[in-house]
């Protein structure tokens, strides 16, 4: 299972190497707040205390941004500087060499990667970015329950989304 985002959080001390994740003790950025609100509603679970998504990664969720660095306070500042070559190849490799992967594409930058994924072998879920600017189009996507449905359909273990 792969969640694709845009680029790392651009606030000082926020990014921790996994898209949408922050280290324990770091205030949840607005996008993560909206992700957790959607997860709460979709999966009927309480709002998580930590924003560290390591628990998802340990269950096999790759949390990948399309760009892997950013200048502080300047979102998308490193877009078009070469990271996409690497991340596109990662996405292509997973698509080509694995079966039954659920790809979640959150936001326009992530949705641009749809053409890299074999639609016959994998399931693609896409929506607006969970930022406050587009959250009204993100809320209600139900990607957490849909992912688990497709994972079970593919004969795989569902994700325990509350296990962080």
Q: Give catalytic residues, as residue numbers.
A: 7
- C-alpha to C-alpha distance for 116 and 139, rounded to whole angstroms: 25
Distance spanning both ends of the chain, measured CA to CA: 16
Angle, CA 33 vertex, CA 73 and CA 153 arms, to 5°: 120
CB 19 within 8 A of CB 130: no
CB 157 within 8 A of CB 143: no
CB 4 within 8 A of CB 102: no
In the chain, how long is the greatest CA-to-CA distance?
42
For the chain, how many residues are written? Answer: 164
């Amino acid at each position: 299972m792969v969640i694709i985002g845009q680029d790392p959080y651009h606030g000082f001390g926020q990014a921790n190497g996994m898209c949408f994740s922050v280290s324990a003790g770091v205030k949840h950025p607005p996008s993560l707040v909206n992700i957790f609100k959607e997860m709460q509603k979709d999966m009927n679970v309480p709002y998580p205390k930590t924003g560290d998504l390591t628990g998802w990664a340990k269950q096999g969720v790759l949390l990948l941004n399309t760009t892997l660095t950013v200048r502080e306070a300047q979102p998308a500042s490193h877009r078009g500087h070469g990271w996409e070559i690497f991340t596109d190849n990662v996405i292509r490799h997973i698509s080509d060499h694995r079966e039954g992967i659920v790809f979640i594409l959150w936001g326009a930058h992530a949705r641009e990667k749809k053409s890299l994924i074999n639609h016959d072998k994998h399931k693609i879920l896409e929506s607006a970015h969970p930022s406050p600017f587009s959250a009204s189009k993100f809320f209600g996507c139900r990607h957490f329950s849909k992912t688990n449905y497709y994972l079970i359909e593919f004969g795989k273990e569902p994700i325990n989304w509350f296990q962080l």
